[in-house]
């Protein structure tokens, strides 16, 4: 079995979202998805997917690529919203509009029951985010809550706690993913803005570590045993050296944060998952099997294609060099456990 834990479906055209917005918001200015400042030269998406409609916008085409050609059995759809735009209330309506569109266009019509969805929320509007989770958490096809990677404060900070509490109460992991659009964000690298697309693309997912570190050190995972985070852009190879640091410095810093009652790395198995990406893993696949055991990453990683992004990866590329047990976990078992998706029995729907 293969579960594709990271697919970004798209609107057919930018204005389509307005069908799902109510009157006060329908005529507001909303950024186009493709106005993201750090767009890939030549387009963000796979070259062969342009032409007949926007890449990733037709459910039949997407299903054909993922399931028939790609060999996946299920796909977790995590749509982009439009970035951290300044008007946080409008942004929450945009997220709700995206969620209604996802249900309307992708999830409800999917009689083969292979798509699963993400409840997009805006962390800058805590009340609105909690309300949106409450609105859609019981829908059987919504399997996670989605937030942008970009944020002006790391997600371990207390202002976000009501949101994570609501997600955990409903058993929904929180998926963090780079978000399109123009937002009010800090520069994407620690050294300022990147001057090249590769300088941005290679670095950006590594920012997930700061979210992760604060979720541990602020005690968010400690207070919410059921809270899980998925870092859906990859960037997990840096986990080994930086968690080593977090563990090492805990010996010195324990007394400032005594609610952290174990080595920080001990929080990973119960609380953290990553999706794969094209930029992860040893460049020498003969090291892949051993590398996957560092920091027990085989238990943390889920295959995600990133379809329709230019960096779309196939399952076999991601698991190249891994042993049987690691392959199984990465290709489906970790996602199956996390999202409660059972193996398909031939001819029936689960």
Partner 1 sequence: MTTVEDVAEKTVAQDIAVTIVDTDVHPLPVSADVLKSYAPAEWKDKLWPTGNAVSPVPHFYDTPDSYKTNSLRVDAGPPGGGVAGSDPDFAAKQLLVDAGVSIAVLEPMCDAQLPQAEHVLKAAHNDWLADVWLGEANWHGRWRGAISVTAQDPTAAAGEIERWAGHPYMAEVLMTPQTRGIPFGSPHFDPMYAAAARHGLPIATHLMGQTPFELIPIYPVGNPAHWHDFFASWPLLYVSHLMSLVFDGAFDRHPDLRVVFVEGGFTWALPAMWRMDRIWEHRKADLPHVRRKPSDYVREHVRFTTQPLEEVNLGEYREYLEMMDLGDNIMFSTDYPHWSYDSPDWAIRRFPADQRERIMRGNATELYGLPATVKALPAELPGAGDVAV
Partner 2 sequence: MQRRAVCAVEDLPPGTMKLVQAGKFGVGVYNIAGSLYAIANYCSHEGAPLCLGYTRGTTEYAPEMPDKIRHVREGQIARCPWHQWEFDITTGESLADPKKRVRTYEVDVADGQVYLTA
Closest distance between partner 1 and the C-beta of residue 35, in Å? Answer: 19
Torsion angle of the four alpha carbons 222, 167, 117, 20, in this order, in degrees rounded to the nearest 10: -140
Residue of the chain from 47, 50, 287, 325 that contacts partner 1 (CB under 8 A): 287
Considering only residues 84 through 113, tell me which ones interact with partner 1, judged by CB under 8 A. none
For residue 348, what are its two tokens?
Answer: 């029936």
Q: Which is nearer to partner 1, 262 or 290 (CB)?
A: 290
For residue 139, what are its two tokens?
Answer: 């829908």
Stretch that binds partner 1, among 65-73, 223-231, 253-261, 327-335 (CB under 8 A): 253-261
Is 15:165 a contact under the CB 8 Å cutoff? Answer: no
Stretch that binds partner 2, among 13-21, 127-135, 254-262, 275-283 (CB under 8 A): 254-262
With residue 147 as reference, give the H or E element that holds it: strand 142-148
Considering only residues 198 through 227, tell me which ones interact with partner 2, judged by CB under 8 A. 219
Considering only residues 260 through 279, tell me which ones interact with partner 1, judged by CB under 8 A. 278-279
272 phi/psi in degrees, rounded to 5 = -130, 135
- How many residues at the interface with partner 1, by CB under 8 A? 71
Q: Which is nearer to partner 2, 154 or 219 (CB)?
A: 219
Considering only residues 119 through 178, tell me which ones interact with partner 1, judged by CB under 8 A. 149-157
Q: Quick check: 248 binds partner 1 (CB under 8 A)?
A: yes
Stretch that binds partner 2, among 29-37, 187-195, 202-210, 244-252 (CB under 8 A): 244-252
Contacts of 238 (CB under 8 A, 6+ apart): 206, 209
Residue of the chain from 203, 263, 294, 310 that contacts partner 2 (CB under 8 A): 263
Q: Quick check: 250 binds partner 2 (CB under 8 A)?
A: yes
How many CA atoms, within 13 angstroms, populate the side-chain half-sphere of residue 33?
26
Return the one option of partner 1, partner 2, none that residue 28 interacts with (CB less than 5 to 8 A, by type).
none
Considering only residues 29 through 88, tell me which ones interact with partner 1, judged by CB under 8 A. 40-42
- For residues 169 and 13, give the distance between their C-alpha atoms in angstroms, rounded to a whole number: 35
Closest distance between partner 1 and the C-beta of residue 12, in Å? Answer: 28
Burial of residue 233 (CB within 10 Å: 0-12, 13-18, 19+) is: buried
Return the one option of partner 1, partner 2, none that residue 210 interacts with (CB less than 5 to 8 A, by type).
partner 1
For residue 188, what are its two tokens?
Answer: 């994407």
- How many residues at the interface with partner 2, by CB under 8 A? 11
Question: What secondary structure does DSSP assign to 297-328, as a single string?
Answer: GGGTEE----TTBTT---HHHHTTT--HHHHH
- For residues 122 and 90, give the distance between their C-alpha atoms in angstroms, rounded to a whole number: 10
- For residues 35 and 13, give the distance between their C-alpha atoms in angstroms, rounded to a whole number: 13
Q: Quick check: 13 binds partner 2 (CB under 8 A)?
A: no
Helix extents (H) in the chain:
23-26, 59-63, 88-101, 126-136, 161-169, 197-203, 208-217, 220-223, 239-253, 268-271, 288-293, 315-318, 324-328, 334-339
Considering only residues 207 through 236, tell me which ones interact with partner 1, judged by CB under 8 A. 207, 209-211, 213-214, 216-218
Q: Quick check: 347 binds partner 2 (CB under 8 A)?
A: no
Q: Contact positions toward partner 2, by CB under 8 A?
A: 219, 250-252, 254-256, 258-259, 261, 263
């Amino acid at each position: 079995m293969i579960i594709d834990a990271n697919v970004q479906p798209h609107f057919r055209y930018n204005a389509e979202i307005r069908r799902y917005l109510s009157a006060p918001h329908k005529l507001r200015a909303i950024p186009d998805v493709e106005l993201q400042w750090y767009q890939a030269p030549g387009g963000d998406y796979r070259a062969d997917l342009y032409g007949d409609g926007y890449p990733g916008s037709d459910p039949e085409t997407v299903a054909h690529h993922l399931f028939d050609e790609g060999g996946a059995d299920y796909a977790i759809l995590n749509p982009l919203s439009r970035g951290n735009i300044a008007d946080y209330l409008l942004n929450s309506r945009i997220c709700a509009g995206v969620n209604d569109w996802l249900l309307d266009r992708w999830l409800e019509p999917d009689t083969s029951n292979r798509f699963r969805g993400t409840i997009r929320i805006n962390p800058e509007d805590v009340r609105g985010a909690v309300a949106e989770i409450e609105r859609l958490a019981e829908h059987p096809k919504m399997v996670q809550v989605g937030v942008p990677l970009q944020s002006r404060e790391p997600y371990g900070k207390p202002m976000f706690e009501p949101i994570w509490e609501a997600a955990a109460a409903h058993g929904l992991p929180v998926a963090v993913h780079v978000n399109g659009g123009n937002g009010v964000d800090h520069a994407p690298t620690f050294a300022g803005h990147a001057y090249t697309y590769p300088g941005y693309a290679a670095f950006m997912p590594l920012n997930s570590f700061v979210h992760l570190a604060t979720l541990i050190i602020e005690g968010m995972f400690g207070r919410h045993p059921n809270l899980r985070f998925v870092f859906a852009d990859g960037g997990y190879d840096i986990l080994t050296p930086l968690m080593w640091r977090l563990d090492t410095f805990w010996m010195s810093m324990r007394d400032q944060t005594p609610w952290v009652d174990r080595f920080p790395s001990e929080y990973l198995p119960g609380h953290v998952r990553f999706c794969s990406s094209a930029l992860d893993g040893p460049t020498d696949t003969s090291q892949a099997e051993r590398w996957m055991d560092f920091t027990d990453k085989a238990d943390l990683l889920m295959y995600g294609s990133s379809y329709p992004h230019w960096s779309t990866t196939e399952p076999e590329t991601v698991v190249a060099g891994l042993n049987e047990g690691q392959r199984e976990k990465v290709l489906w078992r970790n996602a199956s456990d996390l999202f409660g998706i059972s193996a398909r029995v031939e001819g029936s729907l689960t």
